[in-house]
């Protein structure tokens, strides 16, 4: 492993415990564990547990609260754990659902002066804008849901071909974050009319067919709206299983349906011609009537029918309403949300329960995101402690979520609001993933990805996050986090003061980190190996205490039991 930073210790001998030594001392061999044990036993392989899930407890322990927060939030602190335990999950969720956003992405950019004319063709402010929200906001459930929705409705700033790109993305992210706890139909509407999606999937400037030239409407959004955002490729039962006909899956749509649907998305353009400020990037796209296709449109076997002469806004409403009410949308969307928050391989019963809440929140409302989020997080399978030892339950933590949990757990602050973490998408020396910088509409990884040649594949399971996990990315993650843990990022510094009193006792230090970061799921064997490594770091001085703290955090955050969220 490449040695990026040394832990400056007071160990006898050469006086330095390097990152290589810290990770291998006590025969921990973190890299091998990450590539092997986490991949093959952490997220899949073996036989699915058949025992009935335990009922959701009325009161919960500190470890149960920590586990819940790891599924529910962008990151959390020890005080958040105490709040969940004292309030109970239901009341704590009510409190989070009632929180207003402290600041919009758009307002962050304007407050920072990024709307100055000099920034018209730059991406200045984009990364600080996102890290500010993810690391400093108190609405930690909304932040997590916003990121989950961005995984589904993927747009990346580098794929947007406009001026004022940070503002285009800010307006788009505000649609997702504002509606993350509202209604899925509102998300569909806001995204479909956003300049960001119009540019990313190339229907900004889309025009109707021209028989004289043979030109046809752009089909990108028409296709991906169905394939990725609403109903998927095949019809599903409510438990997420495929509808079969003569033993074969039933397709939800055809190429002819895509061609028909493309007519809906013609005529879209900027609502204003004024590009001297970014203001028009926030306004929903307008529909130019002369460029919009008004021929009769029919798709999905007549389930969506738009009469000839229908104006663009009405055509959009008919199309989106039809997809929103399609029988496959609830299990298709809910399975992906469960995958993002709780487990890569939810049972059919779990999907069915959540999908039925999507259909009806108990008051006859379809698509209520608060109800869906509550159903996902409080489901008996999500809260069952027996899942901790299951070989089929859980998920690999996204690299970005590992970073934001560290930031929230140790109160990372940026006094001048610079949040200088930047673009962390490099898999050579960063995380291999960065929010808002997805390379394509298929995001960083696919929900159905299975790492080939593994027990996961042999068990018929999926592990989406492993699509961006390999030996170089693992090494890059450990080295990058090592540097951050020690020094922070520029002016953005962590606060480890609460750990100082524990550092002289490596067992107590590890117990605290295991509880806060890993919900007490790190095994006694792994903890013993970590303790052996930490005890080689002398703590006679403040510097020694700090170096032990740095090493302990890194070892915990590199352990398979932490990296696999259960």
Write the pLDDT tens digit of every residue in 309-359.
999 999 999 999 999 999 999 999 999 999 999 999 999 999 999 999 999
CB atoms within 10 A of CB 373: 25
Three-state DSSP at 276 gives coil
Contact 195, 173 (CB under 8 A): no
Q: What is the pLDDT of residue 58?
A: 59
On average, the pLDDT of the chain sits at 91
Residue with tokens 């030239």: 213
Q: What is the pLDDT of residue 5?
A: 35
Contact 287, 241 (CB under 8 A): no
CB atoms within 10 A of CB 16: 13
Helix 140-152 with 369-378: angle, nearest 10 deg: 100
Q: What is the pLDDT of residue 59?
A: 81
- Cα 137 to Cα 104, 214, 404: the distances in Å are 11, 51, 11
- Domain ranges for the chain, please list them: 6-48+391-565, 106-191, 220-324
Longest dimension (CA), the chain: 84
Q: Where are the alpha helices (DSSP H) in 88-243?
A: 89-97, 105-111, 126-136, 140-152, 165-179, 184-192, 195-200, 220-227
Can you list the residues of the chain whose pLDDT is less than 50?
Answer: 1-55
């Amino acid at each position: 492993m490449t040695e990026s930073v040394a832990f400056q210790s007071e160990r006898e001998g050469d006086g330095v415990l390097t990152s290589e030594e810290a990770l291998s001392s006590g025969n921990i061999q973190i890299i091998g564990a990450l590539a092997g044990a986490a991949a093959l036993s952490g997220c899949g392989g073996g036989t699915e547990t058949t025992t009935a899930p335990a009922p959701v407890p009325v009161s919960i322990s500190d470890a149960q609260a920590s586990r819940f927060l790891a599924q529910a939030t962008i990151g959390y602190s020890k005080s958040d754990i105490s709040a969940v335990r004292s309030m109970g999950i239901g009341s704590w969720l009510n409190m989070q659902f009632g929180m207003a956003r402290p600041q919009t992405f758009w307002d962050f950019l304007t407050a920072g002066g990024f709307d100055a004319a000099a920034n018209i063709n730059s991406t200045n402010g984009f990364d600080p804008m996102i890290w500010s929200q993810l690391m400093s906001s108190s609405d930690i459930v909304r932040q997590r849901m916003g990121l989950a929705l961005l995984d589904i409705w993927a747009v990346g700033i580098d794929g947007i071909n406009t001026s004022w790109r940070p503002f285009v993305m800010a307006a788009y992210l505000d649609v997702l974050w504002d509606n993350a706890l509202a209604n899925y139909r509102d998300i569909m509407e806001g995204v479909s009319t956003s300049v960001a999606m119009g540019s990313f999937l190339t229907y900004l400037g889309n025009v109707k067919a021209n028989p004289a030239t043979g030109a046809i409407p752009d089909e990108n959004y028409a296709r991906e709206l169905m394939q990725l955002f609403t109903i998927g490729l095949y019809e599903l039962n409510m438990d997420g299983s495929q509808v079969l006909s003569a033993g074969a899956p039933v397709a939800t749509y055809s190429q002819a349906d895509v061609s028909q649907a493309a007519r809906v998305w013609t005529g879209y353009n900027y609502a204003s011609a004024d590009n001297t400020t970014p203001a028009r990037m926030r306004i929903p796209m307008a529909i130019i009537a002369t460029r919009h296709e008004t021929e009769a449109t029919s798709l999905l076997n007549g389930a969506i029918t738009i009469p000839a002469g229908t104006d663009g806004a009405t055509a959009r409403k008919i199309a989106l309403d039809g997809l929103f009410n399609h029988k496959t949308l609830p299990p298709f969307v809910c399975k992906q949300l469960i995958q993002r928050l709780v487990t890569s391989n939810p049972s059919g019963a779990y999907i069915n329960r959540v999908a039925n809440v999507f259909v009806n929140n108990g008051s006859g409302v379809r698509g209520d995101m608060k109800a869906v989020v509550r159903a996902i997080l409080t489901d008996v399978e999500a809260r069952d402690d027996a899942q901790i030892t299951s070989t089929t339950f859980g998920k690999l933590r996204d690299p970005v979520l590992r970073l934001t949990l560290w930031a929230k757990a140790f109160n990372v602050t940026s006094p001048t609001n610079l949040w200088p973490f930047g673009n962390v998408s490099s898999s050579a020396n960063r995380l291999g993933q960065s929010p808002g910088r997805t390379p394509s509409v298929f995001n960083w990884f696919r929900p159905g990805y299975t790492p080939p040649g593994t027990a996961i594949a042999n068990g018929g399971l999926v592990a989406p996050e492993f699509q961006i996990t390999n030996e170089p990315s693992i090494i890059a993650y450990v080295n990058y986090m090592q540097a951050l843990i020690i020094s922070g990022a520029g002016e953005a510094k962590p606060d480890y003061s609460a750990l100082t009193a524990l550092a002289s006792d490596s067992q107590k230090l590890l117990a605290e980190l295991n509880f806060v970061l890993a919900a007490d799921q790190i095994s006694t064997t792994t903890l013993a190996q970590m303790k052996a490594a930490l005890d080689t770091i002398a703590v006679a001085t403040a510097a020694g205490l700090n170096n032990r703290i740095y090493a302990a955090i890194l070892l915990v955050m590199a352990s398979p039991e932490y990296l696999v969220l259960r």
